[in-house]
Amino acid sequence: MLEGTGRTIAHLIEPQHLFVPALVDVFAEAGLFVSYVGAVLDPRRLLDDQPDLVFVDTDFVAEPLDVVRLARVLAPGTQVYVYASAPSDAVLRAFSVAGADRVLEKSSDRREIVQGLREVDRLRRQRRE
């Protein structure tokens, strides 16, 4: 949450580096500032930053449920969003049980993704009122 910044801070876990610029652009459109990008979750950085959002692209992440659980434990006030390709109902339940606040499907259009990300900013503002 990087107190005093006035910005909604996000950590982006994206193992496919080719997609990082496009996702960072979507985050910027939604009004979020990406302070960390990595192929894996950095526990030390997560503890230090306590971002408003941890956004995990689950494709090619080893043990995505464990990543969600770890994010939830290390940053309990953080929104955890999962970005997944065509998740089944069982996968959606598993992410929810692991601690994900929301699952965004990769088939969603840009507008839907931006709307979902704006919800994080809205929640951050509510917490600070």
pLDDT digits (tens, 9 = 90+) for 23-74: 999 999 999 999 999 999 999 999 999 999 999 999 889 899 999 999 999 9
36 DSSP 8-state letter? E
Tell me the pLDDT band of 1, cut-offs 50, 70 and 90.
Answer: very low
What is the reported pTM? Answer: 0.91
Q: Does CATH place domain 8-123 in 3.40.50.2300?
A: yes
Annotated domain spans of the chain = 8-123
In the chain, what's the furthest Cα-to-Cα distance? Answer: 40
Residue 8 structure tokens = 């909604």
